[in-house]
Amino acid sequence: MSVLQSTLAAITSGRSVFITGSVGTGKNFLLQHAVSTLRRIHPPNSVFVTASTGVAACALGGQTHYSFAGVGLGKGTKNELMSFVLKSNKAVDRWKRAKALVIDEINMIDGELFDNLEFLASTIRNSKYDGNKPLLWGGIQLIVSGDFFQLPPLMLLITEMSSLSNPLAGKPHSTYRWN
């Protein structure tokens, strides 16, 4: 069985899948087939395709994960983000309708935001298993794709660089500023 066939079989069975590989290995090709499969097996308007940038999202016919989630710039604690999301009936409706969520460029999502999105999904959907334990991601099937050997999220780079000493400090016409 090929990688494509085994991945699509896992998706069809309802499993969440992580697709990775370096540049040029066919992640987008596989992701496009995954999206087609998800749209075939799930009800209409229940498969959401997202990416961290508008360009990447458009390439897959989706939207940014910020737009899907209704979190604005995604800044704040999980409870602050929840308050923000609950002000948008459309965002709450998307979370409740979602059967599958595709996230491309997962490597560009900061870990804290990823955790906060999971909190939103679990809380808004109020999905439980085994008594009262919340289902991860509220039971949404996740298909994530990305290459963790590419650059980390820009804010992480900025944070790391801002902790270094400023080599331009005190020099004329210095425009070095990170915050």
pLDDT of residue 155: 53
Question: Which H, E and C letters describe the chain, residue by residue?
Answer: CCHHHHHHHHHHCCCCEEECCCCCCCHHHHHHHHHHHHHHHCCCCCEEEEECCHHHHHHCCCEEHHHHHCCCCCCCCHHHHHHHHHCCHHHHHHHHHCCEEEEECHHHCCHHHHHHHHHHHHHHHCCEECCCEECHHHHCEEEEECCCCCCCCHHHHHHHHHCCCCCCCCCCCCCCCCC
Query: pLDDT tens across 84-111, in order?
Result: 999 999 999 999 999 999 999 998 888 8
**151 or 57, which is more confident:** 57
Mean pLDDT value across residues 32-59: 93
At 25, is the pLDDT very low, low, confident or very high (cuts 50, 70, 90)?
confident
Q: pLDDT for 133-169, tens place per residue?
A: 778 999 999 999 988 777 655 555 555 555 455 444 4
Cα-trace Rg, the chain: 19
Domain locations in the chain as residue ranges: 3-162
CATH class of 3-162: alpha beta
Is the model's pLDDT at 1 over the cut of 90? no
Closest C-alpha to 48, from 86, 91, 10: 91
Instruction: Report how far residue 7's alpha carbon sits from residue 24's, in angstroms, rounded to the nearest whole number.
Output: 18
Task: Quote the pTM value.
Answer: 0.80
pLDDT at residue 46, rounded to an integer: 97
